[in-house]
């Protein structure tokens, strides 16, 4: 059986290339219209778009030195008090542009005079029509319930947004633009070599639950990975910040889950220490996702062959998409129409 989710995963290089053609000019400029005088960003979204917000808020802070925060739309719109700052740009993210919580949150910000921008896959949606500024993520129709290509399209648009903010601060972004133009080819090659992910999926399909740990923006990727596994396979998958995992949460390893660790260069030593502590008392099935060779002899390692931080972010996101798909199909799930799930729109 051919699944839409698999087709949409494989369409991602083409989606990314289309966005490059649409938003990066021959002169290496980014064709986004943005308000002036913005000093802070607040991302508001739900589901996978919320996890995307978590990734990019930390990327904005680390790479562009811009104050950025993020919040669940469902929590924001029911809050008794919200505080609107005229120097803040409120960014609303939704694949459909009709996500109920996100639209309601936008209406509250608009009522208080906040400056708003949306990133959505649908022109003429509620978000599109209500926001002051707008970016079309343009991933094409996404038929599967689990978001894949729409998520990476959002992430790509937000990365371009970060570069544009860097440019307004006087940074020369030519190197970053030339690098990001190579992303579609990198992802295309990556998707043609997923045998390691299939081996990991076989291990995961035999487990009752999964634990995913990561740091910084990779913690939000871990949460997105856990969501993908849950909504497609129905396995109990949960994510934790790597530095916090030993503080009580480690007891969940008594349930014999598969442990998935996202390893990156600047927190590699910390992860090595955490894993060594874990194996003093527990013997989990360990899978690592890393752009280096395995850091633990007990691990089955999924290697992402790049030293580019942003490429590694995209490839890690896509690794979890493929892992979720392969695990779910091994378990006989209908990944396009998971039981009890539907997109929550107005």
List the domain boundaries for the chain. 4-182, 193-330
* CATH architecture, domain defined by 4-182: 3-Layer(aba) Sandwich (3.40)
Contact indicator for 341, 233 with CB cutoff of 8 Å = no
- pLDDT for residue 318: 98
Label residue 1 by pLDDT band (50, 70, 90).
Answer: low
Domains 4-182 and 193-330 share a fold: yes
- pLDDT for residue 256: 87
What's the whole-number mean pLDDT along residues 39-67?
95
CA distances from 36 to 81, 83, 106, 253, 290 (A): 26, 20, 20, 49, 39
Q: What single string gives the DSSP state of each residue in 245-263?
A: TTTTGGGGGGG--EEEEEE
pLDDT in tens, 71-109: 999 999 999 999 999 999 999 999 999 999 999 999 999
- pLDDT for residue 207: 92
- pLDDT for residue 320: 98
Q: Report the distance separating Cα 97 and Cα 95, nearest Å.
A: 6
- In terms of Cβ atoms closer than 10 Å to its own Cβ (0-12, 13-18, 19+), residue 32 is middle
SS3 label, residue 287 = strand
Label residue 25 by pLDDT band (50, 70, 90).
Answer: very high
Does the reported pTM lie above 0.85?
A: yes
The yes-or-no verdict on residue 39 having pLDDT over 80 is yes
Taking every pair of Cα atoms in the chain, the longest distance, rounded to a whole number of angstroms, is 57
The yes-or-no verdict on residue 111 having pLDDT over 80 is yes
Q: Report the distance separating Cα 172 and Cα 176, nearest Å.
A: 9
What's the whole-number mean pLDDT along residues 53-66?
94
* CATH code for residues 193-330: 3.40.50.10490
């Amino acid at each position: 059986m051919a699944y839409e989710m698999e087709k949409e995963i494989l369409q991602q290089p083409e989606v990314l290339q289309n966005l490059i053609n649409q938003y990066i000019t021959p002169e290496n400029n980014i064709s986004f219209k943005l308000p002036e005088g913005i000093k802070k960003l607040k991302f508001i979204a739900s589901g996978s778009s919320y996890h995307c917000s978590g990734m990019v808020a930390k990327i904005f802070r680390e790479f562009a030195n811009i104050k950025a925060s993020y919040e669940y739309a469902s929590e924001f719109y029911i809050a008794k008090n919200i505080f609107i700052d005229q120097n803040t740009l409120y960014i609303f993210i939704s694949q459909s542009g009709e996500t109920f919580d996100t639209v309601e949150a936008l209406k509250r910000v608009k009522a208080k005079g906040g400056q708003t921008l949306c990133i959505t896959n649908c022109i003429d949606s509620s978000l599109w029509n209500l926001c002051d500024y707008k970016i079309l993520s343009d991933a094409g129709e996404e038929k599967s319930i689990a978001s894949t290509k729409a998520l990476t399209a959002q992430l790509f648009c937000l990365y371009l947004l970060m570069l544009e903010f860097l440019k307004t601060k006087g940074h020369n972004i030519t190197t970053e633009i030339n690098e990001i133009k190579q992303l579609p080819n990198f992802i295309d090659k990556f998707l043609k070599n997923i045998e390691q992910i299939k081996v990991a999926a076989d291990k995961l399909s035999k487990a009752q639950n999964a634990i995913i740990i990561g740091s910084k923006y990779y913690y939000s990727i871990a949460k997105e990975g856990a969501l993908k596994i849950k909504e497609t396979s129905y396995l109990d998958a949960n994510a934790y910040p790597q530095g916090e995992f030993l503080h009580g949460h480690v007891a969940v390893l008594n349930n014999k889950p598969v442990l998935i660790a996202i390893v990156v260069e600047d927190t590699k030593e910390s992860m090595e220490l955490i894993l060594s502590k874990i194996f003093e008392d527990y013997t989990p099935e360990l899978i690592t996702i890393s752009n280096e060779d395995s850091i633990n002899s007990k691990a089955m390692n999924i290697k992402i062959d790049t030293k580019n931080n942003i490429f590694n972010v995209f490839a890690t996101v896509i690794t979890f998409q493929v892992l979720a798909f392969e695990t779910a199909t091994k378990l006989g799930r209908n990944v396009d129409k998971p039981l009890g799930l539907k997109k929550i729109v107005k």
